[in-house]
Amino acid sequence: MTTTSASAHATTNHAATQSLFEDAIKRLDEAGSIADINPEALERLRHPKSMIQVSIPVRMDDGSLRVFEGYRVRHDNTRGPTKGGIRYHPDVSLDEVKALAFWMTCKCAVVGIPYGGAKGGIIVNPKELSRMELERLSRGFIEQMADFIGPDTDVPAPDVYTNSMIMGWMMDEYSTIKRRYCPAVITGKPIPLGGSQGRNAATGRGAYHCITQLAKRRDWKPGKTTVAIQGFGNAAQSVARLLHADGYQIVAVSDSHGGIHRKQGLHIPSIIQAKQDTAHVKAVYCHGSVCEAVDAETITNEELLALDVDVLIPAALENQITADNVDDVKARVIVEVANGPTTSTADAALADRDVLIIPDILANAGGVTVSYFEWVQNREGFYWPLEDVEDRLGKIMAREFDAVYDIMDDKHVDLRTAAYIHALNRIGAAVEAQGTSRYFTSDG
Ligand code: NAD
């Protein structure tokens, strides 16, 4: 096991692009110049607390050995144990994990839950692995990480291409190493292994609450409001299901294989069903009986981002709306269910055109909020019914959305800057409570 510096791997998979972490810190500095925050708090947030890089040897089904590279970054723990998902993706890099960990610090502060931020990832295409290889890889990662994570230090969760089954394996491996049952070490677990009711749908549900709070302020009529969603995984499906049930016109959805578009609106429950059955959104259009029933045209992900819709929901990966395609984006509102889908250059261009962006650190905070509920339930050994989870989540999301929106109006800033100011107020207060130079240089 080795530790590594930030710079060693920061450019491994993003050589051609700007550093995601630097881009993220740029936004911190912008918001910090407006927020009433001690400069020492800002300085602390510019530097991740600790980073670890591990090699995970895995015995493959054919008897060969493959070694995978993984990372865990703890960004800041001033407000509590660090919290953040584990991503399995071929493009994972330390730079990306650092940016995602930083966003987690801000996200937990935006919704006021007592955590700092962390993130992890393994460079792997999980679709190429068998279930048993995936299990060996997941357990191998925890074997390397067991001294760095824990219910009071750092609590992982699922992210892109990881799910509740993987969280269950990881919790089991950690418990085996510690020789006691430790459900609170990880969240997003299967319900029979200490998971929380409502966790799977929580990220999408949180985004849904943001949209409905905005709809009240803008007097939207769901039947007349069009929506396009990029990505159709865990987070996208739950926000799609809830918006569809309210009557919103979801005209396009996509996944890594491409998308489907229907001007009159898609029937979301049957697409979710078909995606679960076939694994591809495109299959809904191209194959089988649902194909005829859906009556939609295929579109590319680029075309989806350029659709003339009221609400665009990027719910796949980061860096989707960039300087290259921002001029094509016609949506009036963007809801960032994915982390970091809009680059700072694109952000500025959208702000000039008065496009309202509900930023990732607010829009997708429902996931970590219910992860917090899961951790609380694990520690209490007392489990809540679904209604309690949904009720508490709804109240937190509505309250924090309104608080961020009011900061936007008061300070005449965009919603992203307002969300950072809201987060920085909470983080800054915690840093100040430990004492800053004002305290240590005073005579008293
Ligand atoms: P997931 O693995 O369940 O789904 C990802 C989806 O994106 C899949 O449908 C995949 O096909 C699609 N996709 C991948 N590459 C794509 C591309 N180039 N174009 C279009 N679609 C593409 O992941 P998820 O958990 O739903 O996470 C999606 C996003 O939401 C990520 O940015 C993640 O960080 C963020 N997020 C998730 C959670 C959560 O609780 N799941 C919480 C907060 C944020």
pLDDT tens for each residue of 383-416? 999 999 999 999 999 999 999 999 999 999 999 9
pLDDT tens for each residue of 293-341? 467 888 999 999 999 999 999 999 889 999 999 999 999 999 999 989 9
Q: What is the mean pLDDT of residues 354-374?
A: 97
Q: Cα(160) to centroid of ligand 1, in Å?
A: 5
State whether the beta carbon of 304 lies less than 6 angstroms from ligand 1.
Answer: no
State whether the beta carbon of 233 lies less than 6 angstroms from ligand 1.
Answer: yes
Task: Give, using CA atoms, the residue closest to atom 16 of ligand 1.
Answer: 256
Query: 41 with 106: CB under 8 angstroms?
Result: no
Ligand 1, atom nearest to 360 Cα: 44
Distance (Å, whole) CA 170 – CA 157: 10
Distance (Å, whole) CA 2 – CA 240: 42
Taking CA atoms, 198 is separated from 11, 220, 262, 333, 390, in Å, by: 37, 27, 30, 27, 7
Q: Cα(158) to centroid of ligand 1, in Å?
A: 11
Q: Cα(128) to centroid of ligand 1, in Å?
A: 18
How confident is residue 435, by pLDDT bands cut at 50, 70 and 90? confident
Active site residues: 119
Q: What is the pLDDT of residue 258?
A: 86
State whether the beta carbon of 367 lies less than 6 angstroms from ligand 1.
Answer: yes
State whether the beta carbon of 41 lies less than 6 angstroms from ligand 1.
Answer: no
- Best mutation site among 159, 165, 372 for ligand 1, i.e. most ligand atoms within 8 A of its Cβ? 159
pLDDT tens for each residue of 207-264? 999 999 999 999 999 999 999 999 998 899 999 999 999 999 999 999 888 889 999 9
- Best mutation site among 166, 210, 238, 255 for ligand 1, i.e. most ligand atoms within 8 A of its Cβ? 255
